[in-house]
């Protein structure tokens, strides 16, 4: 099924409406309490460097860490807000997004949550960058990922039309 399919949009809206009370409760109780607490050193380094680079080169863009307002009940690791009709969500995916570190059921739940987040962000016309990180703190690794993110932002700033979807780096 394509994401722009009317049936998908109807199902997504129905799911969001039915789950709104649960999402709001989850947001109030959990998100404020843990906002930004499970951030890896690589993700933190990425945010600091990205914020510095973007504010220098494109002061009209805003970089937000651990955003919980865009998707109520969900945290976006790093958000690049633009006044030009596009936004970029950067999700920093550690090994627990791909390996059963906390068990198979937690891994299945994480994968389902990631897929849900992908679809919702796509329907909101966000570009989603998923950074695959399997290691420990490594500034050189983060710099290579940052260079790709910088290229994407530069391309978006120069483009007349922006394509939305998931980009895995």
49 touches 88 (CB < 8 A): no
- Among 14, 17, 12, CA closest to 116: 12
Domain that holds residue 153: 6-168
pLDDT of amino acid 162: 72
| Predicted confidence (pLDDT) per residue in 134-160, tens digit | 888 999 999 999 999 999 999 999 987
Tokens at 159, concatenated: 């483009």
Instruction: Tell me the pairing of strands 62-67 and 76-81.
Output: antiparallel
Does any domain span residue 57? yes
Total number of domains in the chain = 1
Q: Which of the pair, 37 or 133, is modelled with greater confidence?
A: 133
| Predicted confidence (pLDDT) per residue in 43-72, tens digit | 999 999 999 999 999 999 999 999 988 988
Does any domain span residue 1? no
Task: Return the DSSP state at 103.
Answer: -
| Residue with token string 């890896």 | 40
Q: Give the confidence band of 1 by pLDDT, cuts at 50, 70, 90.
A: very low
78 touches 47 (CB < 8 A): yes
């Amino acid at each position: 099924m394509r994401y722009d399919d009317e049936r998908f949009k109807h199902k997504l809206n129905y799911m969001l409406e039915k789950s709104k009370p649960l999402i709001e409760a989850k947001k109030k109780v959990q998100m404020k309490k843990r906002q930004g607490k499970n951030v890896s050193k690589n993700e933190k380094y990425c945010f600091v460097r990205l914020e510095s680079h973007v504010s220098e080169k494109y002061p009209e863009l805003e970089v937000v860490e651990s955003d919980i307002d865009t998707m109520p009940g969900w945290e976006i690791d790093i958000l690049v807000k633009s006044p030009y009709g596009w936004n970029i969500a950067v999700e920093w995916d550690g090994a627990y997004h791909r390996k059963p570190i906390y068990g198979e059921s937690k891994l299945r739940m994480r994968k389902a949550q990631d897929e849900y987040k992908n679809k919702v962000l796509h329907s909101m016309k966000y570009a989603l960058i998923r950074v695959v990180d399997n290691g420990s703190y490594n500034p050189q690794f983060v710099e290579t990922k940052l260079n790709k993110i910088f290229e994407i932002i530069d391309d978006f700033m120069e483009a007349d039309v922006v394509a939305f979807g998931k980009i895995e780096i």
